[in-house]
A and B are shown apart, each in its own frame.
Chain A
Amino acid sequence: MNPEHVVVLYLYAALFVVFGISVYGIVIKPHIVKKLIALSILGDTANTLIILLGYRTLPKPWPPVFPELEPSLELIEEFTKLSVDPLPQVLVITAIVINMAVTALLAFLAIQVYRLYGTLDFRKVLKLRGW
């Protein structure tokens, strides 16, 4: 097993740990802003996970960009062997945009909760809601 493989395995393990911690944060932490932070971390972890999936454990992987406008056939063949997978990066861009929209909406809701209830503690909000 070469060192790159080991590093990638460690990265996977670390990401799964972070994934678990952020799910714990969303479910258990009573403070709304902390839930929000945990949710952002969860989204970023998922994004990093799929980027890592597209990574090639080669000594020198290529970026997924052709160096010339009209690549020759040999270049394309070499490219498929050495380049990292570009698709996960495309997915991540979409996912980041969506996460931004959800986070903005949740931030607005958090502000509104604070305005109406005077607290950001979800347990107190549940007690105050009155039904």
Chain B
Amino acid sequence: MVEYIIQNYDIVTASLPGLAVLISATGAFTLPLLQLITKNRRAWEIYTALFTFLVMCLTYKLMFKVFEVGKPLVYTFGGWPPPVGIVYEVDRFNGLLGVVVSSIMFLVAIYSIKYLEFDDGVQWYYTLFLGLEAGMLGCMYTGDFFNLFVMIEVTAVSAYALVAFRRYDRIAIEAAMKYAIFGALATTMYFTAIIFAYGSLGTLNMADMALKFRNIEVPVTGLPFGIIHYGMALFIVFALWSFAFKAALFPNHFWLPDAHAAAPSSISALLSGLVVKVGIYAIARFLYTIFTASEAIASVHRLALLAIFVMGVSSAFLGAILMFIQKDIKRLIAYSTILNIGYIAIGLGLGSAFGALAATYHIVNHAVAKALLFMAAGAYIHYAGTRDIEKLSGIGRAMPITTLAFIIGAFSLAGIPPLNAFMSKFLLYGALIATGVLPLVAIVIIPSVIAFLAYLKLVYTIFVKPMPEEYAKKKIKDHPLLTGPVVILAIACILLGIGAPYIINNYIWPATQSLLDWSSYTEAMMQIAQKLP
């Protein structure tokens, strides 16, 4: 009975995607019970760190197995085969992203122990934290577009609440309000998109949807009925708008600087490094695996790619220019997120394998470097108690190790070789040259130069300027719990940069290939579906 729903994998590996999500969700639901038993905050912190560590181990094992076998792994909930039941479908692309998510979640869990030492109600923080992890892993692994809606909502509700965690901070509440109202609007729009897709295709499974576009008959759900063009065009428009909102692409970026600046720094690292990637992942999955190479919606698909490209270019320029004029350190880093999400969208909007490769590598690099920047900035803010760049001047001298890591992260995102984001920008540069329109390379170079100046100004103020007297009195120094995760990420930045040829050959390029390879994605589902009685 079990054999036919598990293809190519042993039973332990095949249950990992469900377990990873389930364990984080279990952690989230049992933490409120734990806080009834013990009021010791150390217990809650260790509990969360253990859960995130466990999930991290599971996702690593899953990724290595999927890379080894090379075929998508289908996890069926309750053993119901694909077009009927909900499935998780893990290929190399989302396996890789799952690892990025769980590793950064673990480091942030460690960082939060020290960072939140003055806050009360941390048990609710950790509950939402584990809920956020469950939601993001669910978004990454899911192979069902209604389940994607549910998981996006789980991620989003946790994120709204975490932005408002410091509930007596006026700015945090206002930013959370703005984020939550428009976020809820965006997810409802995605629900409407699901209505159109279900109405015209009669399925909720992503692989099944990809097969329907190519007129291949699937057991149970059969062929699409009637004319699907209008329904699908509406689906693409509504779904892409809500994903673009989640990814904070230019006209929908307005919530990001407020929410990321007002949240606690540990949460800013997650929002910037990972939560916006959920939107990017959904865009990539839909545009590259599901809608590609089908005659039925080829024109809509081209238009959607163009729209993503244009939105990416506008985000890159807007992020770079607004980044330059910020006076708040976290807003500056938040605008840098808009810039880098713009780069990823440019890579995806090109519609070529080269562009998708650059985008995939930049997703990983940006997640690492941006989490580093927010966490290092959080360490400064934790001691100085202000986010104003001028008032933070010279604080870097008191915390030399954190500052070294901060400089590595800032220079990486500014595009200094041999750090990691330089490598992915270089790939993007190559992908733009490969289109044959040479002036296009300006859209990578100009924002990058402006961002470099902005980072240089920031590093100058924090590290080179003399330190005011008051910091000497406060006894500011590197704390291992704050500095440790930051240093690990800085080492990751260097390794991802120096080892780029190896990493691209062995991880990023195979991941991109499985993003582009719709046939093996659908085949994995079909193999199981055909065994249906």
Interface residues of A (CB under 8 A from B): 19, 23, 26-27, 32, 35-36, 39, 42-43, 46, 49-50, 53, 87-88, 91, 94-95, 98, 101-102, 105-106, 109-110, 112-113, 116-117, 122, 125-126, 128-131
Contacts and interface: CB of A to CB of B under 8 A. Distances in A.
7 contacts: A26-B181, A49-B192, A98-B187, A109-B177, A109-B180, A116-B173, A129-B174
Nearest to B167: A112
Contacts of B156: 102
Given A46-B192, A53-B198, A106 B171 contact: no
A42 B182 CA distance: 12
B181 A35 contact: yes
B174 A53 contact: no
B157 A113 contact: no
Contact of B195 (A36, A50, A110, A116): A50
A131 B198 contact: no
B164 A112 contact: yes
A32 B170 CA distance: 15
Interface of B: 146, 149-150, 153, 156-157, 160-161, 164, 167-168, 170-171, 173-174, 176-177, 180-182, 184-185, 187-188, 191-192, 194-195, 198-199, 204, 328
Contacts of B161: 105
Given A26-B185, A35-B181, A39-B181, A113 B195 contact: no
Given A26-B185, A94-B150, A105 B160 contact: yes
A21 B180 CA distance: 20
Contacts of B328: 131
Contacts of A113: 173-174, 177
Contact of A39 (B160, B173, B184, B195): B184
Contact of A43 (B150, B177, B188, B194): B188
Contacts of B150: 94, 98
A53 B150 CA distance: 20
Contacts of B171: 129-131
A130 B172 CA distance: 12
B157 A88 contact: no
B180 A130 contact: no
B170 A116 contact: yes
A55 B495 CA distance: 57
Given A116-B170, A131-B171, A102 B177 contact: no
Given A46-B191, A46-B195, A49-B195, A32 B153 contact: no
A113 B167 CA distance: 9
A70 B161 CA distance: 47
Given A53-B199, A101-B157, A131-B171, A95 B191 contact: yes
A126 B157 contact: no
Contacts of B167: 112
Contacts of A129: 170-171, 174
Nearest to B177: A109
Contacts of A112: 164, 167, 173
B464 to A, nearest CB: 26
A23 B164 contact: no
Given A46-B192, A122-B177, 9 more contacts: A26-B182, A27-B185, A42-B188, A46-B188, A94-B146, A95-B149, A102-B157, A105-B160, A109-B176
Nearest to B200: A53
Nearest to A125: B174
Nearest to A101: B157
A32 B177 contact: yes
Please name the 5 residue pairs, one residue from A and one from B, whose CB atoms are nearest each other, closest first.
Answer: A98-B153, A50-B195, A102-B184, A116-B170, A53-B199
